[in-house]
Chain A
Amino acid sequence: MSAIIQTRNFNLFYGTFHALKDVNIDIPKNMITSMIGPSGCGKSTLLRAYNRMNDLLEDVSVNGEVIVDGKNVNDPGMDLVELRKKVGMVFQRPNPFPLSVAENVLFSVKIHRSAAPKEYGDIIEKSLKAVDLWDGLKDKLNTSALNLSLEQQQRLCIARLLPVKPDILLMDEPCSALDPIATGHIEELMHHLKANYTIVIVTHNMQQAARVSDYTAYLYLGNLIEYDLTKKIFTVPKDRRTEDYLSGKFG
Chain B
Amino acid sequence: MIKNPYFRERIAFTLLFIATAIVVLPVICILFFIVKEGWHAISWEFLSQMPRKGMREGGIFPAIVGTLYLVFGTLVFALPLGILSAIYLSEYAKDNFLTRMVKLAIINLAGVPSVVYGLFGLGIFVVFLKFGSSLLAGSMTLAIMVLPIIITTTREALDSVPQSFRQVSYSLGVSKWDTIRHVVLPHALPGILTGMILAVSRAAGETAPILFTVAAFYLPRLPKSIFDQAMALPYHLYVISTQVPNIKLEVRYGTALVLLMIVLSLNLIAIIVRAHFRKKRKW
Contacts and interface: CB of A to CB of B under 8 A. Distances in A.
Interface of A: 51, 53, 56, 58, 80-85, 88-89, 91, 93, 95, 97-99, 107-108, 110-112, 144, 146, 157, 160-161, 164
Contacts, number: 61
Given A97-B183, A98-B282, A146-B283, A81 B174 contact: yes
B85 to A, nearest CB: 22
Interface string B160-200: 00001111111111110010001100010000000000000
A112 B173 contact: yes
A89 B164 CA distance: 12
Nearest to B187: A98
B165 A51 contact: no
Contacts of B169: 107
A84 B171 contact: yes
B281 interface: yes
A66 to B, nearest CB: 16
B100 to A, nearest CB: 15
Interface string B76-98: 00000000000000000001000
Q: Which 3 A-B pairs have the closest CB atoms?
A: A85-B173, A98-B283, A89-B171
Interface string B58-85: 0000000000000000000000000000
21 contacts: A53-B167, A58-B95, A80-B170, A81-B175, A83-B173, A84-B171, A88-B172, A89-B171, A91-B167, A91-B171, A95-B168, A98-B282, A107-B182, A108-B173, A108-B174, A110-B182, A111-B174, A112-B173, A157-B168, A161-B172, A164-B172
Contact of B182 (A81, A88, A93, A111): A111
Contacts of B174: 81, 108, 111-112
A157 B164 CA distance: 13
Given A98-B282, A99-B281, A53 B170 contact: yes
B171 A53 contact: yes
A84 B183 contact: no
Contacts of A98: 187, 281-283
A157 B169 CA distance: 11
A80 B167 CA distance: 13
Nearest to B171: A89
Contacts of A112: 173-174
Contacts of B164: 91, 93, 95
Nearest to A163: B172
Nearest to B178: A111
A153 to B, nearest CB: 12
A56 B179 CA distance: 13
Nearest to A112: B173
B283 A81 contact: no
A114 B167 CA distance: 21
A46 to B, nearest CB: 16
A83 B174 CA distance: 11
A146 B164 CA distance: 15
Contacts of B183: 97
